[in-house]
Amino acid sequence: MCIGLFLGIILVFVQKKFELFMIVPNLAYPVEFRFLNLLIVFCTITVLGYIAAKIASSRISKEFIEK
């Protein structure tokens, strides 16, 4: 999770400085870094990961573990 967030932050700053991604040949794709957006993404990933782990672990039975 942290690697993906770090790569996303790097990509935003690289786009702002070097304008790698273009909408049209003379207009760079606009990006803006906001700490609140980073926090929202982090919380969303954490909550969804917890829910997915809870669902997966609830489906494991004793018979499955003993096999």
State the pLDDT at residue 60. Answer: 86
pLDDT in tens, the chain (67 residues): 899 999 999 999 999 999 999 999 999 999 999 999 999 999 999 999 999 999 998 988 877 788 6
CA 49 vs CA 6, 45, 53, 61, 65: distances in Å: 18, 6, 6, 21, 22
* Element at 13 (helix H, strand E): helix 2-18
**Distance between CA atoms of 23 and 26, rounded to whole angstroms?**
8
**What pTM, to 2 d.p., does this model score?**
0.78
CA dist., res. 29 & res. 56, Å (int): 39
Which pLDDT score, from 0 to 100, does residue 65 have? 80
Q: Which of 43, 22, 40, 39 is nearest to 31 (CA)?
A: 22
